Amino acid sequence: MRDFFRFGKGYKVIFFTFFLYFIFIAASFASSGGSHGETAGWLATDTYRVMNFAVLAIALFYIVKKPAAAALKSRIDEIKDRLTDLEEKKEKALKQAADYDKKFANINKEAESILSGYVKQGEAAKIRILEQADETAKKMEEVAKKNVDYQFTQAKKELQKEIVSESLLKAKELIKSKINPADHKRLIDEYLNKVVA
């Protein structure tokens, strides 16, 4: 019933006219007087009733003709518009469904291409990391060799110093034990002669 009141003015006029028409018919049946159960044939009031009905029907036809036609035409136009809208939506939905079907068909290919791209990137990163590791290892090896060479050189110098120091101590002890006082005096005299000369 709510939908009925949403229609235009023409539908309301039609409804109101039919409502009045049925009220007049009901009133005419209720006002039929005379005897109940007896039929006397055609009466003069029957002619007036038929004329009254004809006048009302003709008046109703002329009153309702334009609004009813307009209401029906607007309703037909509304239905046509809805049908065209629905057809457009249906076509759009079918196109969208076809697009989705294509995307779903290509999704495995896209997934494989994306996966292969990631594998290629991973391999490239692996190669780059290994190259960097090799370079770092070479640098560390060079530093370690230099460090070992330096340590070896330092140890060699320290060892030479110790050997010289030990040799001097041994030589000093050996000289002290082998030199007697006469040799000692002779060495001092020779040294003084060299200094004075």
The segment with the largest mean pLDDT, out of 49-53, 83-87, 193-197, is 83-87
Residue 14 half-sphere exposure toward CB, CA atoms < 13 A: 15
- Check whether 131 has a pLDDT greater than 70: yes
Whether 150 is covered by a domain: the verdict is no
Q: Are 73 and 14 within 8 A, CB to CB?
A: no
pLDDT at 173: 82
> Is 93 domain-assigned?
yes
Domain region containing 81 = 2-31+41-104
Number of domain units in the chain? 1
Within a domain: 17: yes
pLDDT, average across residues 112-121? 87
Residue 115 lies in a domain: no
Average the pLDDT over 6-31 and give the result: 68
Question: Is a pLDDT exceeding 50 seen at residue 149?
Answer: yes
More confident residue, 3 or 135: 135
Average pLDDT over residues 33-56: 72
What is the signed CA dihedral for 132, 137, 142, 146, rounded to 10 degrees?
130
Query: What pLDDT does 5 receive?
Result: 47
Q: What is the DSSP letter of 114?
A: H
Give the Cα separation of 34 and 47 in Å (integer): 15
